[in-house]
Chains A and B, each alone.
Chain A
Amino acid sequence: MDTSQGRVKLRNLEANPYAAIAVVDKDNPYLYVQIRGEVRLDFANGARDIDRLSMRYGGQPYKYPPTDSPDEGCQNTMKLHRYKMQEGRTECNCPRR
């Protein structure tokens, strides 16, 4: 993942590196994966990695809004490591389909 300096998530992770992500299938919200882990901050490769993510999601390098910049130390990469994974259907199940 990737964020910018000044964001709450970065401040939180500097104080406590443990985090969790939940990824929900956009075509079937009853299908999801939760991953818990410890996040390492990489201040050196944030600008490179936001472009990699932007290619994946938008097919082009990241377009910076006026409040953001690729300057060194401004974009931070966060890498989850030592993760645990739990795969399943949502907590509040609908009737099985």
Chain B
Amino acid sequence: MQLPEKVKKFLEKPNFAVLATVSPKGRPQATPVWFMLDGEEILMDTSQGRVKLRNLEANPYAAIAVVDKDNPYLYVQIRGKVRLDFANGARDIDRLSMRYGGQPYKYPPTDSPQKRVSLRMRPTGFSGMGMG
């Protein structure tokens, strides 16, 4: 599906998203992440060894909730299926870091470019509040 223009407009603002994934045993996990709209997909990025990656390998269906930092009554939820891209993780974390921090990603000692994985969510549904 294509997201409406007003939703895409809202996603341009660098709010954080909360990404929800589900483990093979049906236990949800929810963590804040950087995101950006890339064409029709929601682009996020994680590292090998993280719970969210393990969950998505077992079950690619996920949801994000983006709450406006200046008005928490304004939000969008997007549900979709996540494709893992092991080839462009390092490039994409730099793109996200530019959006949120204005500079390439600074790796902590526990992380490295080889470990980064891009998460590409293709929307299947959305809902929101306060979007007019």
* Contacting residue for B101 out of A24, A91, A95, CB 8 A: A95
* Known contacts A24-B16, A29-B16; A91 and B27 CB within 8 A of each other: no
In whole angstroms, what is the CA distance A36 to B108 when docked?
26
Does B48 sit at the interface, judged by CB under 8 A?
no
Q: Does B113 contact A (CB under 8 A)?
A: no
Q: How many residues of B contact A (CB 8 A)?
A: 30
Question: Which of A18, A90, A96 lies in contact with B16, CB distance below 8 A?
Answer: A90
- A12 nearest in chain B by CB position: B28
| A16 contacts the other chain (CB 8 A) | yes
Does B30 sit within 8 A of A, measured CB to CB?
A: yes
B30–A34 CB distance below 8 A: yes
In this complex, the interface size class of chain A, counting residues with CB under 8 Å from chain B, is 10 to 19
Spot the interface stretch: B3-11, B31-39, B80-88.
Answer: B31-39
What's the least CB distance linking B16 to chain A, in Å?
A: 5
Tell whether B26 is near chain A: CB-to-CB under 8 Å: yes
Are B28 and A29 neighbours in the complex by a CB distance under 8 Å? no
A-facing residues in B100-116 (Cβ within 8 Å)? 100-101, 103, 105-106, 108
Q: Knowing that A90-B31, A90-B34, A92-B93 are A-B contacts, what are 18 other residue pairs whose CB atoms are under 8 Å apart, sorted by A's residue number?
A: A18-B26, A20-B27, A22-B31, A22-B32, A24-B67, A29-B16, A32-B32, A34-B31, A36-B29, A90-B32, A91-B31, A92-B46, A92-B97, A93-B106, A93-B108, A94-B106, A95-B106, A96-B106
